[in-house]
Structure 1
Amino acid sequence: MSSAEPEPRAPARHRLGLGAAVVLVLVALAVTVGIGIFRGQSAPTQAVTIDQTPAATSGAGAEIYVHVSGAVREPGLYVLPDRSRVVDAVAAAGGFAKSAARDGVNLARELSDGEQLVVPKKGEEATVAPGGGVTAGGKLNLNTADQSALEELPGIGPALGQRIIAWRDENGRFTSVDDLLAVSGIGEKVLAGLRDLVTV
């Protein structure tokens, strides 16, 4: 009478090889995942620089209204980007007319919102204030006048002229003649004497 012989057990070396293979696959998978995470963290990023020009501080897409008249081909009211210059306004109005006194305007001057730009004809005298403060109706533009032009105003000496320019540099354009009250040394009495002589 013969008893059933037990099945032979798998060689120890075979069992070890199978376990090592499983461990090797798991290690390879862990390494692959780790490399992916590391690459994701160290991937180069593109730096974006925002141009903080004065135009940007005025607000994206800021615009100004300029009335262009005189010796241009198409006089009228034009909407221009903020910080535009006289050359931009003349171009928007179709360019100089044949009768224009081209030297009568400073093409490089920066424009102000609500300004009237008058291009004189040949033989006419341009309405220009000292220091490039071109005016509408003969008034000095507080946003473009230099210190020497400001000192021509009644009650404004060198010290107040400097303060006006300093205020403008620090706070941006004057939006109203009444903004002069924010300048140290200018009160209601001085403002009353300037109100009919200046514009923004």
Structure 2
Amino acid sequence: ASPGSTGRPRDRPGSVRPQARSGRDRTSPTVGAMSGRRAKGPAPRASLEELVRLACRTEDEASQIRPRRAALLPRVALALGVCLIALALVLAARTMLTAPTGQEAPPGRRAQSPVPTSSLPPGDQDLVPVDPASPDSGPAQVVVHVAGAVAVPGVVVLRPGARVADAIDAAGGPAADADTDQLNLARPLADGEQVRVPRAGEDTSTWAQQPAGSGSGQATAGQTDGQPAHSQGAQAGGLINLNTADAAALEDLPGIGPALAERIVSHRESHGPFATVEDLLDVPGIGQAKLEALRDRATV
């Protein structure tokens, strides 16, 4: 440098001196990136924070797009509902068409029909079923007069099918001097008969010799003309009165069992006394062959 100069080198001809920039003109790349302003000069590379924010923004936008397949769900649900309703209607119609009527018999059972008694053999007519609700099924109760050696003699009311032992119990039981060994305690009772309990040492052989129709029907174990002494309606000649004999006495007729004997008594109580022996044909289960077999042993 020449003397008197300022000490700074002179500019060469044709050269351009760079001008210094102030602090305002200089922009820090870091500050521009953080503040969001565009930095002067060449664009800096994207920072990690911007990449993360960009990735997050892309995910939010993608999540706002609803899948196309979701729009098909209402149609599928509607179609499924229509199918279910149609299936329910078909099943209901099938059930109504195949339902059994009230007139049909249950599976495995055959409808019962009445069996005419005329078509049965003579030996099988005792097995004809009788409707319990029919008028000929017997009385609803059995009224019996209990007399003799019992605690409380008198009239007792028993259920149908009661036995001699039931009548004695209803009368307070046998007395201390009663001789029940002479009685058939298992004999079924008929409505309106009398049960007489003998005392010890009492002769019961005269009880069965009372006139028919006296209503005695005593329950004893004696025998008269080969017939039980307790049989009500048994006459001295061995004939059995159809209008006064009880069920036990009617069983002594040929071919008459317990079932037919009860039917004869029930028919007599419902329709009145028999006018002739032939009226037995009106009793269910008695045919012409059975009538001929017992005609000589019965009377009215």
Counterpart in the other structure of 1:62: 140
Match of 2:168 among 90, 103, 124: 90
Counterpart in the other structure of 1:118: 196
* 8 Å Cα contact 2:145-2:193 kept in structure 1: yes
1:93 positional shift: 0.7
Counterpart in the other structure of 2:249: 145
Deviations along 1:51-73, whole A, 9 cap, x unmatched?
A: xx989466598111111111111
Length-normalised TM-score, structure 2? 0.40
Structure 2 SS opposite 1:89 = helix
Counterpart in the other structure of 1:134: 230
1:143 positional shift: 1.2
* 8 Å Cα contact 2:137-2:263 kept in structure 1: no
| Deviates further, 127-136 or 75-84 | 127-136
Could you say which structure has the larger radius of gyration? 2
* 8 Å Cα contact 1:133-1:145 kept in structure 2: no
Does the C-alpha gap of structure 1 residues 135 and 32 become closer, same or farther in structure 2, counting only changes over 3 Å? same
Deviations along 1:119-156, whole A, 9 cap, x unmatched?
A: 11111133446565624597663410376xx4xxxxxx
Instruction: Provide the aligned C-alpha RMSD in A.
Output: 4.4
Gap regions ≥5 residues in structure 2: 1-65, 100-105, 107-128, 208-219, 281-290
Tell me how far apart the structure 2 counterparts of residues 122 and 78 of structure 1 sit (CA, whole Å). Answer: 24
* 8 Å Cα contact 2:144-2:156 kept in structure 1: yes
Q: Percent identity?
A: 28
1:174 positional shift: 2.1
Counterpart in the other structure of 1:182: 279
Counterpart in the other structure of 1:20: 76
Does the C-alpha gap of structure 1 residues 171 and 124 become closer, same or farther in structure 2, counting only changes over 3 Å? closer
Gap regions ≥5 residues in structure 1: 1-9, 46-52, 151-160, 196-200
Counterpart in the other structure of 2:260: 169
Counterpart in the other structure of 2:151: 73
Counterpart in the other structure of 1:100: 178
How many residue pairs align between the two structures? 157
